[in-house]
Structure 1
Amino acid sequence: MYAAVVRSFGTPPRFEDFPTPTAAGEHETLVDVLAAGLHPRVRSAAKGSHYTSDGSLPLIPGFDAVGRTPEGELLYFIAPDTALGTMAEQAVVDRRRAIALPANADPIAVAAAMNPGMSSWVALRRRHSFQPGGSALVLGATGNAGQLAVQIAKHLGAVRVVGAGRDPKRLDLLKGLGADEVVKLDGDDKDVADQLGLAAADVDVVIDYLWGRPTQQAIPALLNARTDRSKPLAWIHIGSMAGPDITLPSYLLRAANLTIMGSGQGSVTTTGIVAELPSLAAEITSGTLAVNPVPIPLARVEQAWHTPTAPGDRIVLVP
């Protein structure tokens, strides 16, 4: 078969002939891959920098995909924890990490949206029991996952969603996706802190794709501005786009009812993640969530790796 193959960390994968994997376990089946999303999670794994990477080479990148079984069944699946990912003509699927899709599902749309969508979907349903009538702040709302997080929070019943990010053009899009207010994370530290405090002081949950300096600014800004500091605030760390570390003054943990948690592989079981996927897939298939896939042939994977995307777009490789 042909596949995208990484033979050296730091260089894009190349389109190469590669041995076809074999389904061996009782839960495994070999599928024809129809579409695989090029997510930040995939890029970091291909660089060897993702926290789950074990340094194995060569590897086929790809965290998830849509494929078709020999019997014609359409599946969305998460790749097994091996060096054989989904950016290939064929892949082995563990049925315990897969869900069946309706026959009318668009494989490219599902491949584009499931990974960025599941980050907030799982966080708000598994790590924090978000209730209708609540409110949320999305830090990093201008990214693809952040834009979907705004939509998902609204879909799950949020009465107020605040989106925060740096890119002014992408911030402009958020109100059309359901954001009630936006905050630009750029400029003087005090101005940013004041804007966050005014816009999001009393939210119930923060979905954080940034960490680093923006989170270090945002935590005290929100807690110091809260009307009632004893009101619970769940801070869900999902990504570290702005940096891996923060400095957190200890008094904030005593002065407010703050819970900081992570959401990702390890903090949620694979079984728990997979259990949430059918409902998310249904919302993608129905058109509830705005999805803008950019399909590119797998044979052009090197070009795809460097292709810039417009706000809200997600590259999908199509074998």
Structure 2
Amino acid sequence: MRAALVSAAGQDPALAETALPKPAIGERLIRVGAAAISHLTKARALGAHYTDSGRFPFGVGIDGVGRLEDGSRVYFALPRRPYGSMADFTVVDARLCVPVPEELDDLTAAAIANPGMSSWAALTDRARIKRGETVLINGATGTSGRLAVQVARLLGAGRIVATGRNAGALEEVRSLGADVAIQIGEDMDNLEQRFAEEFAKGVDIVLDYLWGPSAESLLQAAATKGFDAVPMRFVQIGSSSAGDIMLPAAVLRAKAVELMGSGGGSVSVPRLIAVIEEVLQAAATAGLQIALKPAAFSDFDRAWPQDNSACRTVFTMDTEGPA
């Protein structure tokens, strides 16, 4: 069978032939239909994620959509290493599979599950969102951030503030449900002023996909200009701008701030799988949107390096291929 494999440290994954995996007790063999590139997938492929095992070769891809031996269609997550989801077949713990609603096609389900889960779990399990609260999404112009705007609205946010670098993309985010759009640029003084204006009105939850300077400005604005009666839950999800920030101790003393992360280590895997099932149901019934670009699995070596944050690349496998 075909599989996308990383053969050595520092090398991009490449399509190769490998043996068909055999399921162990409690596992299911899945004929993969579609699998999307995610930030986590790329970080693991580069050996730059905290869950990296350091063993080669290994398959890339953390989740996807496929069919079990009985023909039922499922979303699946976390194939047993060294296997990945970007392969004709993979093996997965049976508890990490959930049914895909009939209304959702393979491409949409594969594209929306992981980023939808990240914002859904951050808002429900970590921030404990209440209807009518104000949510600020830092980094709302990528695929995950755009979906977070829609999820926040679906979960009852009363007001949504979106930030991003691209002015045109921010206007598109408005059409998805954001009430306010703030452009992140080189003028940090102006950015801090805009943040201060929003915090003066009251911000209940921040979903941060960027970290770095904009996160520093947000926390500083919350401490110095925030509405005192509104405690703030700051949920760190991604770090596409930087891996570290400078956090003055006074920020945490000056404001009732709950600073937390949301991810595989802070929310249990069974709960994340349950969240994904909720996301897929919402995608089928509420029309959640995500930008995606289909790519034939046979074209993996060319399509992998062309992936970008504006549109999710989803590989489609030949589900009638050889076993």
Is the TM value for this pair above 0.5? yes
In structure 2, distance between residues paired with 1:72 and 1:287: 27
Q: Give the drift of 1:308.
A: 4.9
Q: Is residue 110–residue 285 contact of structure 1 (8 Å, CA) maintained in 2?
A: no
Residue 173 of structure 1: CA displacement? 0.8
Checking the alignment, whether the CA contact within 8 Å between 1:162 and 1:200 is kept in structure 2 is no
Q: Which runs of 4+ in 1 moved over 4 A?
A: none
- Aligned match of 2:19: 19
Q: Which whole-Å CA distance do the structure 2 matches of 1:13 and 1:34 have between them? A: 19
1:82, CA displacement in angstroms? 2.1
Q: Corresponding residue for 2:225? A: 225
Match of 1:123, SS? helix
Report the AA paired with residue 315 of structure 2.
L
Task: Tell me the matched-pair count.
Answer: 316
Distance 1:248 1:267 in 2: 21
> 2:78 — aligned with what?
79
272-281 or 193-202, larger mean C-alpha shift: 193-202
The residue type equivalent to 1:124 in the other structure is L
Residue aligned with 1:223, SS: helix
1:267 and 1:309, CA in 2 relative to 1: closer, same or farther beyond 3 A? closer
Question: What root-mean-square deviation, in Å, do the aligned CA atoms of Structure 1 and Structure 2 show?
Answer: 1.4
- Normalising by structure 2, we get a TM-score of 0.94
Q: Distance in 2 between matches of 1:309 and 1:251?
A: 37
Matches within 5 A, 1:149-188: 149-188=148-187
- Deviation at residue 309 of structure 1 after TM alignment: 5.0
What's 1:277 paired with?
276
TM-score, normalised by the number of residues in structure 1? 0.95
The whole-number CA distance in structure 2 between the counterparts of 1:222 and 1:279 is: 32
Kindly indicate whether the alpha-carbon contact (under 8 Å) linking 2:100 and 2:109 is maintained by their aligned counterparts in 1.
no
Structure 2 distance, partners of 1:104, 1:9, is: 40
The Cα offsets for residues 184-224 of structure 1, whole Å up to 9 and x where unpaired, read as 11021110100112134411100001111211121112331
Q: How does 1:44-193 map to 2 (within 5 A)?
A: 44-80=43-79, 82-193=81-192
Corresponding residue SS for 1:306? helix
One-letter amino acid of the counterpart of residue 264, structure 2: Q
Task: Tell me how far 1:104 sits from its aligned partner.
Answer: 3.5
Distance between the aligned counterparts of 1:38 and 1:147, measured in 2?
17
SS in 1 for 2:28: strand
Match of 2:288 in 1: 289
What percentage of aligned pairs have identical amino acids?
35
Q: Quick one: distance in 1 between partners of 2:196 and 2:282? A: 32
The residue aligned with 1:207 is: 207
- Partner of 1:252: helix, strand, or coil? helix
What is the DSSP-based 3-state SS (H/G/I as helix, E as strand, rest coil) of the residue aligned with 1:316?
A: strand
**What secondary structure does 2:58 align onto?**
coil
Kept in 1, the 8 Å contact 2:143–2:290? The answer is no
1:126 and 1:221 map into 2 onto residues whose CA distance is 25
> Which digits, 9 at most, give the CA deviation of each residue in 1:65-107, with x for residues without a partner?
0010111111101114523110000011212111112234211
Deviation at 1:287, TM superposition (A): 5.1
Shift of 1:8: 2.4
What SS does structure 2 have at the residue aligned with 1:251? Answer: helix
